[in-house]
Structure 1
């Protein structure tokens, strides 16, 4: 009887697992961060980190949403605080290379109702219950979605009549195929830009969230001239918006200098704002990653309609040269920090004390003459 019950439960688990799709949000376990740089790795290499994570977690809690729409932090404040308080990562793909079912015995699948406040409270409550049983850092949380249509969309304007084909090619009003993801790989794996969310183009009176992009992404490699351009064309409300990220190359190091923006009839060059650590740069063959701060490209002319472009939690590498994975990572964390300064101060103080001690020992001299009974006689004076 017990075997029959276990079989039924496993069947339910597998049936739930077969209906989930991306995008996915992982949090809670300390090894979740290792999944962040796996965007361009081959399928065979990506499977091992996932299966290892599923096995090492003491428990896995899978929350299934009814939609793949964007999860707004304003509507889920409790869940947002829960995720940001620890390690987390976002996987925009539709399918996981490996699913947790079958790799972990303690899996709970929770279907969400679709109401913001109810889902927010249910996620936090269920996850905290698992933490009380298995301990902090031992529970892997996964937010997924139910099976829906693919994330590849072929948009076209709806008209009363079917557009007529011409001898030159397809109808002119059929838009190019677009993709809703935040990983932008240039043709031939020449360059790659990976984000945690869509870029935000800020105009004078509105902000455009560039979520869908045309799948044809190019990288203009002008290595001999010392620069390269990563061009990405987005579709927003049926209108094109092209971003051309320019990277300069000097003495074996690339630097992200600016981005040229074309939206409708507006054209402008936005300059990267920041210091040596926040502006993306790395030696050739290395990638740059920053999850601590947003990267801002600002318009030097304040009177222009195009104000700025914001990208968050990015990893970028130009001149990828056909590789299928990121190079070694340079991050935006500077060398000088409060703990390092404290350590340097203590070391300097100890070295100063040691130097004074050595100096005092070196200043000591032994006497060059010694008095004895032969060199100095004792005399007495007798008075009569």
Structure 2
């Protein structure tokens, strides 16, 4: 197989080049010569020729290639050992993240859009320096009960943020179970150039021993200059479980604003048997500095108590106006009050 041959080439040449690039897509793309360099400009030209597909850039070590082979069946692939792709905004993956990658690709293949994935493989020396310590994308299992922030960055340095004051709660009425979803171990953002949908992928550890892995896929939809959070798909990587949940209370927020809502935001399926609860949620998909911008609150500006107060004030104001108008219409006899005029004489007959 071609893919197996490139694995051998990679092991022989990675010490002499700056890096290598592996590409795969669900649509056929132009041949990439392994004898020429492949830079960011070449990647931009390829994206343009493919009609601007949804592009995701990863980075990893050469040791991941044998494990990755089984996940590329059915894809069009290409390999270039002389790659020079910027990895500043790439998502670093390890062998433990292949399950998340497999889940994400399963969602992509089910859709109709074109997808292009790029894996950058730096040279062996620099990669050993990076992996000698702890991974930057993997966090140790945690059972913290505090706030949760999911933060991902797209290729264009645009951040997608989702905050909850408590760990998310997955509640299933069919088996009367409650599952807390805390801090993430990996977050990726996918935004296609001509696709109004932005996808936020979050992998979290769940369960008492943190052995179960759950993938949350949040769907954000753009409508002109407004965006909204429509749904979330849940998929367990260690158990045969998945669910598609829609947000109960719809909202729409202008660009460059965040959305905030005190209390509980609920995502539920059509039968209301599975619910995902987010506490005091604040979310934004177009943050430029990695922090929330001014927030649109879910509580309307004119609430019921405000309307009640305005109604009572209006009634009192109308009554005051009527009283002042009635007083102004009273006419007195000025003759009795003017001392310069002849006084009025009234004779009384006995």
TM-score w.r.t. the length of structure 2 is 0.46
